[in-house]
């Protein structure tokens, strides 16, 4: 879905042809999975970080095209709204000083972006939901000038028969509103983590990613405020799910999924083909079936919180990645890389167990854990297998006593030095120990200072510029 398209409107013939090509490529992909043709090069890390462009009053500034032109950096691309951008990381082997490498690159890209923004008398902020954003700015006029976004909006609203989208989120100050297009999706920004996995470990890696989603979303929560309402610690989870809701007649495009993977991750691509209507039938007539252009494009319009992706190695061999989408953007670059380290450590740590972790935790419980953690963050109570038995346990205790040691073992198995592990997982442990992630800091700052949202965001931005991880931020 990241690729631009050449037309906005489509007819029945376009849908029919796209369906033919999707079906053909899905059959071919099944053979690739079955025949063992997938790349065996695994354990490669990557990321995408979304950010907000704001003016000097901390309000969204719809000038991302001007910023991108000034940057001229292929790693920085537009997002749905004109006040968002996305920073991408280069793939890096999950070994050695991998997190320092990722952090160095992200810091360099972030510095270039912030310098370009300052030249526009603007700022960049990386945060899950921007407290100063108002609903009335999420209009088609502020949609990025890319045809794919316009076409996506057309199709979602068509499947809803033109009915407005409804947003209902519980919290201290519950939010209920209607909106006339998909632009509210732009109010939720994330740090997406990529893991290229070996075919023989892909099912274990994917199911571990599902189970890890609860502690990941709790540790990284950074979205308690939306349109002036205090809601979930990670409000972007229900916001994104509801902002592209295509109605009760179809499977939801944004979800935790239908269940664990069983035999291979091809099951998700088969589910896409069978259960999700085509949103944008952009036909690529010159693309050979072996490039899976239509499978990949269709998969890009199904936003599972853990999503399998098909890509290609440098030599053209088909590879398999997991995109872990649950973590919020920010607060700082080092917080983001610490979140990545925690994710990779958990997945690899669960992979060390003789028994697959999904045998100890039902999918329904893993899903329930995820939504509890999104709502209550580090204060969540979840069901977790501890020493062979299921227990209800507090998230902070779970992370500090059980999951950080598990992640340490997982990263050590990848030949990552102890100093690297201590630096980045130490941030996660400290965050859980003092119960201060981005969401907690925002709540506490408001409670103690009683100031407005603009003051909150300006203070957040100044601390973000310090580069210090959020668990150290003063109130």
Query: Where does residue 31 rank: exposed (0-12), middle (13-18), buried (19+ CB within 10 A)?
Result: exposed
The residues pairing with 176 across neighbouring beta strands, listed in sequence order, are 168
All structural domains of the chain: 12-467 (3.30.590.20)
* Span 435-462, pLDDT tens digits: 999 999 999 999 999 889 999 999 999 9
Eight-class DSSP state of 181 = S
Band the pLDDT of 1: cuts 50, 70, 90. very low
Among the listed residues 283, 219, 207, 265, the one whose alpha carbon sits nearest the alpha carbon of residue 18: 283
| Residue 90: pLDDT over 90 | yes
Per residue in 33-77, pLDDT (tens digit) is 999 999 999 999 999 999 999 999 999 999 999 999 999 999 999
As a whole number of angstroms, the distance between CA 63 and CA 210 comes to 36
- In the three-class reduction of DSSP (H, G, I as helix; E, B as strand; rest coil), residue 468 is classed as coil
Q: What is the mean pLDDT of the segment spanning 419-436? A: 98
Please provide residue 175's backbone torsions phi and psi, each rounded to the nearest 5 degrees.
Answer: -120, 130
**Consecutive H or E run containing 365:** helix 363-376
Alpha carbon 338 to its chain centroid, in Å, reads 15
Sign of the C-alpha dihedral computed for residues 51, 238, 361 and 359 taken in this order = negative
Question: Which residues have a Cβ under 8 Å from the Cβ of 397 and sit 6 or more positions away?
Answer: none
212-230 mean pLDDT: 98
Q: Characterize the bridge pairing of strands 303-304 and 76-78.
A: unpaired
- pTM of this prediction exceeds 0.85: yes
In the chain, pLDDT over 70 holds for what percent of residues? 100
Average pLDDT of the segment spanning 3-24: 91
| Whether residue 297 has pLDDT greater than 50 | yes
**In this structure, what token pair is assigned to residue 274?**
């069978």
């Amino acid at each position: 879905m990241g690729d631009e398209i050449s037309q906005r409107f489509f007819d029945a013939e376009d849908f029919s042809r796209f369906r033919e090509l999707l079906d053909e490529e899905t059959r071919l992909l099944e053979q690739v999975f079955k025949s063992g043709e997938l790349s065996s090069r695994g354990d490669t890390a990557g990321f995408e970080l979304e950010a907000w462009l704001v003016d000097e009053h901390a309000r969204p500034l719809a000038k991302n095209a001007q910023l991108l032109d000034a940057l001229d950096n292929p790693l920085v691309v537009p997002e749905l709204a004109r006040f968002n951008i996305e920073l991408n990381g280069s793939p890096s082997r999950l070994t050695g000083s991998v997190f320092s490498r990722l952090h160095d690159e992200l810091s360099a890209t972030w510095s270039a972006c912030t310098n370009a923004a300052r030249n526009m008398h603007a700022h960049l902020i990386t945060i899950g939901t921007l407290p100063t954003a108002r609903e009335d700015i999420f209009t088609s006029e502020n949609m990025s000038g890319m045809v794919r976004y316009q076409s996506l909006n057309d199709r979602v609203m068509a499947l809803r028969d033109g009915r407005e989208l409804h947003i209902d989120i519980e919290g201290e100050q519950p939010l209920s509103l209607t909106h006339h297009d998909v632009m509210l999706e732009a109010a939720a920004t994330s740090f997406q983590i990529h893991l290229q996995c070996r075919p023989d470990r892909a099912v274990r890696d994917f199911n571990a990613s599902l189970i890890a989603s609860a502690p990941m979303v709790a540790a990284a929560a950074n979205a308690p405020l939306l349109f002036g309402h205090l809601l979930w610690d990670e409000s972007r989870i229900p916001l994104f799910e509801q902002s592209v809701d295509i109605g009760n007649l179809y499977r939801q495009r944004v979800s935790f999924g239908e269940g664990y993977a069983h035999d291979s991750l091809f099951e998700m691509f088969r589910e896409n083909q069978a259960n999700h209507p085509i949103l944008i039938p952009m036909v690529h007539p010159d693309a050979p079936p072996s490039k899976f252009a239509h499978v990949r494009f269709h998969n890009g319009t199904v936003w599972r919180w853990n999503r399998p992706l098909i890509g290609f190695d440098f030599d053209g061999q088909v590879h398999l990645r997991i995109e872990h989408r649950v973590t919020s953007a920010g607060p700082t670059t080092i917080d983001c890389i610490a979140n990545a380290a925690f994710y990779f450590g958990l997945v690899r740590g669960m992979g060390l167990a003789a028994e697959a972790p999904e045998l100890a935790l039902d999918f329904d419980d893993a899903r329930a854990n995820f939504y509890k953690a999104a709502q209550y963050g580090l204060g969540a109570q979840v069901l977790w297998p501890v020493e062979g038995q299921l227990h209800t346990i507090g998230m902070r205790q779970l992370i500090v006593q059980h999951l950080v040691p598990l992640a340490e073992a997982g990263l050590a198995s990848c030949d990552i030095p102890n100093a690297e592990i201590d630096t980045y997982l130490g941030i996660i442990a400290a965050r859980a120990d003092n119960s201060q992630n981005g969401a907690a800091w925002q709540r506490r700052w408001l409670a103690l200072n009683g100031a407005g949202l603009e003051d909150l965001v300006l203070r957040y931005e100044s601390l973000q510029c310090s580069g210090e991880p959020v668990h150290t931020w003063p109130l």
